[in-house]
Amino acid sequence: MNHSHNRFGRKLRKFGPLYLMMIPGLIYLAINNYLPMFGLSIAFKDINYRKGIWGSDWIGLKNFEYLFKTSDAYLITRNTILYNVAFIIIGLVVAVGVAILLNEIKNKIASRLYQSLIILPFLISMVLVSYLVYAMLSIDNGFVNKTILPALGLDPISWYNEPKYWPYILVFVNVWKGAGYACIVYLAAIIGIDPEYYEAATLDGASKWQQIRKITIPLISPVIIMLTLLGIGRIFYSDFGLFYQVPMNSGALFDTTNVIDTYVFRGLMQLGDIGMSSAAGFYQSLVGFILVLLSNYIVRKINRENALF
């Protein structure tokens, strides 16, 4: 008894300081991550601020009934998924394509300059992006309406009131902001390929195009698959800033710009409809979680080493 007590004491003295170090981080995880997870239960409650989060009355699935009775539920789900599919496919093609071309460039200085420039959009906030887009699309003074369209002999377009253009605009902005980053990631993978493959292929008389198709793309496909599946795992989430800031929260555009994240935000902050928005948030967390597990399962099937867990 005494002996084991001593051993416990020695262990505590040895590892105690290590546990002590972790306390701030673990407290943060508890507050920032775990309490909200349990807080998801509010989706089944009639929230009453006076009774608090834990004290409000249970109402079962009422919030979900209301949510799925509206046409919004379908609209935001459709928009979220379709945008993500477009982002994944177009982002992949652009990033891999540019990375391959970047790798071809022999001039070191030029290559570094291109790399610096294409990451620029990644560095700025979505609020600033919305200013840049505004300079282009402003109805009265935008570069497009005042310079480009007149030059083509076309009439000005009321961009912030016409939902039909926004799928293209948002895909463009997303690729513009993110492709540079993804491109650098792919470039790192390409640089890691053993040059002997290319030397052998050149000796055999393979053209550049053949080398890209038969060597480069197959050898970076683990990275492609991994990033794509991560994207699929997050297909139920969207970049709130892109869909909220860039269309300037314009109500006329909701048909094509409302996604789950913006719907939840507006429900909570602008309409005060906590029931509906917590139900939508729960729906997102749950389906999102299932999709992460599913995509990881698929990665494991393909290649164990690339799986997250």
Q: Which of residues 193-222 bind another protein (CB under 8 A)?
A: 207-208
Count residues contacting another protein (CB under 8 A)?
100
Q: Does 180 bind another protein (CB under 8 A)?
A: yes
- Nearest Cα to Cα of residue 130 among 257, 248, 10, 7: 248
Contacting residue, 2, 4, 32, 71, with another protein by CB under 8 A? 32
With respect to another protein, which residue has the nearer C-beta, 3 or 14?
A: 14
Residue 153 zone, left/alpha/beta (φ > 0; ψ -120 to 50; rest): left
- For the bound state, the minimum distance from the C-beta of residue 246 to another protein, rounded and expressed in Å, comes to 11
Longest CA pairwise span in the chain (Å): 93
State how far the Cα of 50 lies from the Cα of 64, in Å rounded to an integer.
23
Is residue 119 involved in binding another protein (CB under 8 A)?
yes
169 vs 223, which CB is nearer to another protein?
223
271 binds another protein per the rule CB under 8 A: no
Check residue 274 for interaction with another protein (CB under 8 A): yes
Kindly state whether residue 188 participates in binding another protein, applying the rule CB under 8 A. Answer: yes
Residue 101 engages another protein in binding (rule: CB under 8 A):
yes
Q: What is the nearest approach in angstroms of another protein to the Cβ of residue 2?
A: 21
| Integer Cα distance of 97 and 91 in angstroms | 10
Select the span of 25-33, 65-73, 80-88, 193-201 touching another protein (CB under 8 A): 25-33
Q: Is 273 left (phi over 0), alpha (psi -120 to 50) or beta?
A: beta
User: What residues numbered 71-90 form the site for another protein, per CB under 8 A?
Assistant: none
Q: Is 24 in the site for another protein (CB under 8 A)?
A: yes
**Residue 68 binds another protein (CB under 8 A):** no
The CA radius of gyration of the chain, in Å to the nearest whole number, is 25
49/69 Cα distance (integer angstroms): 26
Binds another protein by CB under 8 A, chosen from 91, 121, 178, 247:
121
Binding segment for another protein (CB under 8 A), chosen from 71-79, 80-88, 213-221, 238-246, is 238-246
Q: 205's torsion region: left (phi>0), alpha (psi -120 to 50) or beta?
A: left
User: What tokens does 226 get?
Assistant: 């991994």
Task: Give the helix ranges, DSSP H, for the chain.
Answer: 2-29, 35-39, 52-55, 62-69, 72-104, 108-123, 126-137, 143, 149-151, 166-191, 195-203, 208-211, 217-233, 240-244, 254-257, 260-265, 274-302
Residue selected from 6, 29, 61, 218 as contacting another protein according to rule CB under 8 A: 29
Give DSSP secondary structure letters for 95-118: HHHHHHHHHH---HHHHHHHHHHH
By CB under 8 A, name the one of 67, 76, 96, 102 that touches another protein: 102
Q: Which of 48, 141, 158, 270 binds another protein (CB under 8 A)?
A: 141
The DSSP code sequence of 238-300 is --HHHHHTTTTT-GGGHHHH--HHHHHHIIIIIS--HHHHHHHHHHHHHHHHHHHHHHHHHHH
Residue of the chain from 64, 87, 160, 265 that contacts another protein (CB under 8 A): 265
The single residue among 6, 125, 158, 161 that binds another protein, judged by CB under 8 A, is 125
Single residue of 73, 83, 142, 174 touching another protein by CB under 8 A = 142
If binding is defined by CB under 8 A, does position 104 make contact with another protein?
A: yes
